[in-house]
Structure 1
């Protein structure tokens, strides 16, 4: 809007208002008097442009985007803490009950026991919010002495921790809310309510899947993997508790019988033949190939909720392998033994399995 209000343009307009009988050349008294004012005005116009952009959702960022979408009842998702499964054993390798609230450390992160699942098996909450709490696996070290404890292990991710919602994700959710109004148990209503639950990365809604009044909702975890049974149960209880389905005791409307399921994972085994640069061996590019394939399948999982079904394409895989240094050509790529695209069902997501490289 104010891109034409430059220092040069403003100064030229100011000098044009000065009578021609006065010396207006650079270095003259009037020029030196007007130049600083023109610079300040140009800076003011630049700041006006920034402020103008911050007042609209499509160009706002940070705090200003948060405040803009809040006018429509949308709140930026804050970082959440991961819930993990932990196992505890005594010196005889028998399961051991430990105190709730006891704290354990791994990889610079601390976890606190918050709930007992069964004998020697507990839910641990990461003390650090965000996706960092999803990453570590293995032996835990007690921060304080725990009587009888010989081994503690951090295992499954029950509810993934999430980082604070990005501007891009918040803007996308804002457009979805505005353009697809949620009302009375329509599909948009289910998607928005389910996606707002901690640990859920996305969802698909299948209305009348088992007759009138039935709704099936399939979810993917926030770390873009198959959700744990605990997360599925939490979403089920939030939307429509199983013991009183259809009674309106959850967020689903009265008369709607809701079934929550998790996505199914399909292992994608890849076999390919590479032409490598002189002196390069398959072992040298193995990890790079696995990394680009894993990144491609992660992109597909992130887009799962917006797609009817995922198609893992050999052309995409070949193109990504060709970006690896040392790879000159790719032929004969097979997915699960077939030289063809892998078409998944609408409730399935791809997970990378074995990668075999031939020369």
Structure 2
């Protein structure tokens, strides 16, 4: 365990600071002859001060010490550590994709036209704006790229869910998305940002010549990228392939792939180019997904947690293991199984299976694991 994984331990000097201990020291310092009995004025007067001092030491001072180190900082304070490391927290990403519009020949669909999903009792309609102006051709059907109006994971939607136009565009008879709209991601979590800060510090002094670590870092600098697999010399000398998943663990969509390519190659401004001159060709593709399901029976847990929360926390923990699995080519059963009891409130279980067995999951070179079903009982 390195310093990044160690649990924070409060320094010794914050000890002996319970209110009763502080007050006892205060009472002991009173001049001789002063009433020091419980209920007396000095006793009642010193206790509020002792309580405040105890809180200052045990809570505020300890939290201040934690904020000084990126290993233990959070929220805005972790952002400041990121700035010091030369990076910044990635904002939420916008989902994107394509819709097919059917209507009268010659109908103009202006850029920024809003199309949406159907609202339900539980959620409002999701809105998407067209990226460019298009005209419906003689075939009475046209495809147009769209981007979600609101950023975030919630802006992702399945195929055949975008069915309505928010504005009344005369000549449009129907709209649909034949494929899922993807790429919407939440603001980078503290855990992910902390990992990138760690990577940045560990790579200080690196040559930036375009080794595997460089390509992974460059890819992750783009909003929405979750992980990157590097395949060197895949098509001969001087060629590199990057295999991407987004922050949701799903294959990167076209827009995200283009954003990563532009960031690394910078075809419009060579002064911003990261790609080494000796690399003749950079290819970026979405990952192939290896679906993984988990089954756990006989769970023993206390009243502080329920099954749904256990499943939610397990998904978060197992997603962090996928990056290591990608590097080694194997999702190791004995590394995933202990995650169950790492969840606060869970004390034991009977059986744990990955894809129905107690075996490791082997990944092909361009495969990335993704959680499919989690069945806990």
Whether TM exceeds 0.5 here: the answer is yes
* Partner in structure 2 of residue 348 of structure 1: 367
Match of 2:109 in 1: 98
Q: Contact 1:111–1:127 at 8 Å: present in 2 too?
A: yes
Structure 2 CA distance for aligned equivalents of residues 233 and 305 of structure 1: 26
Q: How does 1:78-227 map to 2 (within 5 A)?
A: 78-90=91-103, 98-106=109-117, 107=119, 108=124, 109-115=126-132, 120-137=142-159, 138-157=161-180, 160-181=183-204, 182-185=206-209, 186-210=211-235, 212-227=237-252
> Once the 2 structures are TM-superposed, how far is the Cα of residue 24 of structure 1 from its aligned partner?
0.7
Query: Structure 1 residues 210, 315: CA separation in 2 closer, same or farther (over 3 Å shift)?
Result: closer
Q: In the TM superposition, what is the alpha-carbon distance from 1:102 to its structure 2 partner?
A: 0.8
Describe the shift of the 1:227–1:95 C-alpha distance in structure 2 as closer, same or farther (beyond 3 A): farther
Would you say the 8 A contact 1:204–1:305 is kept in 2? no
- Count of residue correspondences: 325
Per-residue deviation, 1:196: 1.5
1:258 Cα deviation after fit: 4.1
Shift of residue 166, structure 1, vs aligned partner: 0.9
Structural RMSD (CA): 4.3
Report matched runs for 1:256-271 at 5 Å.
256-265=279-288
**Other-structure match for 1:61:** 74
Q: Taking structure 1 as the reference length, what is the TM-score of the superposition? A: 0.73
Distance 1:310 1:352 in 2: 15
The 3 A distance-change label for structure 1 pair 53 and 256 is same
Deviation (angstroms), 1:58: 1.4
CA shift for structure 1 position 269? 9.6
Tell me which of 50, 64, 82 is aligned to 1:51: 64
User: Contact (CA 8 Å) 2:107, 2:170: kept in 1 or not?
Assistant: no
Cα 1:198–1:47 shift into 2, 3 Å:
closer
Which residue is equivalent to 1:8?
Answer: 20
Residues 117/146 of structure 1: CA separation in 2 closer, same or farther (3 Å cut)? closer
Separation in structure 1 between the aligned mates of residue 39 and residue 292 of structure 2, nearest angstrom: 74
Pick one of 320, 325, 328 that aligns with 1:308: 328
Q: Which whole-Å CA distance do the structure 2 matches of 1:257 and 1:81 have between them?
A: 31
Cα offset, 1:226, TM superposition: 2.3
- C-alpha distance in 2, partners of 1:15/1:266? 68
- Unpaired segments ≥5 residues, structure 1: 276-287, 321-327, 355-359
User: Aligned-pair distance for 1:225?
Assistant: 2.0
